[in-house]
Amino acid sequence: MSIGQATAGTGSGQGYGSGTVVVTGLGATTPLGGDVASTWSALLAGKSGVRMLDWEGIEELPTRFAATIAVEPEEVMPKHRLRRLDRSQAFALIASHEAWRDAGFAPRDITGRASGEPSEGFEPDPERLGAVVSSGIGGLITALDGYRAFQQTGWKRVSPFTVPMLMPNGPVGHVSIEFGAKAGAHALVSACASSAEGIGYAIDMIRSGRADVVIAGGTEATIHPFNMAAFSSMRAMSTRNDEPERASRPYDKNRDGFVIGEGAATLILESEEHARARGARIYAIVAGAGYSSDGHDIVQPDPTGAGASAAIRRALVNSRLTPDQIVHVNAHATSTPQGDVAEILALKDALGQEAAAKVLITGTKSMTGHLLGGAGALESLITVLALREGVVPPTANLENLDDAVDLDIAQGEPRRLPDGPIAALNNSFGFGGHNVAVAFQRAV
């Protein structure tokens, strides 16, 4: 019997309903590594996951590189499963399996075959288990490749799995089925803020008493010629084709756009009572989240940073934190000329100049590229590890700091964080004017 089943016998059906939410498991597959450990070590070493693409006709595109996944799904999952999954869905399952095991839950067989023997480990009550896995774009590759097959060979060659493969809620659907989550499966879509917003929703699921445990994450797989052409047409991506590994350079005077990435990250969120009752390892406290919208432009951020500032202030209120408690920010920092500066303005406005000056900021997209809808989950995971390990990965490729950036940016080498009960923020902003800030506290 699970803890959720054992304690929900009051008739309320509310289980623990804890006000404190903690992180008990982490999982990832990224351009830096096929798991959390390899990704984290590469970040601390300042390595880049950006690579040249070798597609036919790639020379016609202004940008010919991307942060592609380090370990292909075929190396982890059998081909018979992958035929029914979009690439983004495979990433989400791989990351979620690692997070599930890391949380101390009974492992599932990623091959999709039942082992016949029960696995050792804790089994959460399915009725108290939720899933929130977001994607900003969903199964784009499935849609584009499927349409090409339709044009070339007719409708009978279109896969019967096409619709569930291209749905933006497909990743969370598969994750919820894989782990038997029945408290609710949700996919929030807010462009590059999607998975950060999803983490906030997961917090609310636990605080409201809907769930004791939530699988919360994000995934994206949109490195495709059409998508690259679309972003190139917007002039949003870097064109540093001679030095792709140095193209993503947040806060640098010579930054010229973002670098698209792919991958997934998952965090297991849990009520503190539930986690402690089962003796789980606690990585950090998920203190709260704040949201806002710019109401400014469908693509460009508000140059004053007003919307981002509002999200940060609301995250502090929701978390019951003061600006002085924030010692670190994993910034959105996409390496775009306008966005990087707007975020600095937002931090100074939300925290106050004095408190902001004491915050250590990093931009890890300089190494991972921009995972779009998966970015918030991955960067939240990195923020959790920074708090737990007491060290912040550097911002890579930062050689000439922009004159408008007058805060402390980690660069060159990893930087230490202070001891004690400190807190950190992860910021995520998306096309459409979506702003999300998630606050974490060190578990002590």
DSSP category for residue 74 = G
Residue-wise pLDDT tens digits, 211-227: 999 999 999 999 999 99
Longest dimension (CA), the chain: 65
Could you tell me the pTM of the whole model?
A: 0.95
Under 8 Å between Cβ of 99 and 37: no
Decide if 434 is catalytic.
Answer: no
User: How far apart, in Å, are the Cα atoms of 74 and each of 70, 90, 203, 228?
Assistant: 12, 9, 33, 23
Q: Which residues contact 438 (CB under 8 A, 6 or more apart)?
A: 196, 199, 200, 286, 288, 289, 315, 376, 380, 383, 425, 426, 428
Decide if 274 is catalytic.
Answer: no
Measured distance CA(399)–CA(402) in Å, rounded: 9
Q: Which of 341, 336, 318, 338 is nearest to 425 (CA)?
A: 318
Q: Which residues contact 85 (CB under 8 A, 6 or more apart)?
A: 73, 77, 93, 165, 174
Token representation of residue 166: 């291209």
Q: Which residues contact 281 (CB under 8 A, 6 or more apart)?
A: 24, 104
Instruction: Break the chain down into helix, strand, coil percent, rounded to 5.
Output: 35, 20, 40
Give the orientation angle of helix 375-389 with respect to helix 194-207, to 10 degrees: 70
What does R_g of the chain's alpha carbons equal in angstroms?
A: 21
Task: Give the model's pLDDT for residue 2.
Answer: 37
Segments in the chain below pLDDT 70: 1-18, 113-119
The one catalytic residue among 174, 224, 274, 370: 370
222 burial type by CB count under 10 A (0-12 exposed, 13-18 middle, 19+ buried): buried
Decide if 192 is catalytic.
Answer: yes
Residue-wise pLDDT tens digits, 100-144: 999 999 999 998 765 445 567 899 999 999 999 999 999 999 999
Decide: helix, strand or coil at residue 48.
Answer: coil
DSSP category for residue 237 = B
Q: Which of 139, 143, 103, 138 is nearest to 123 (CA)?
A: 103
Q: Which of 234, 233, 243, 240 is nearest to 255 (CA)?
A: 240
Q: Which of 103, 96, 120, 107 is nearest to 185 (CA)?
A: 96
Where on the phi/psi map is residue 112: left (φ > 0), alpha (ψ -120 to 50), or beta? Answer: left
The one catalytic residue among 186, 224, 328, 332: 332
Token representation of residue 60: 């016609």
The one catalytic residue among 192, 274, 328, 434: 192
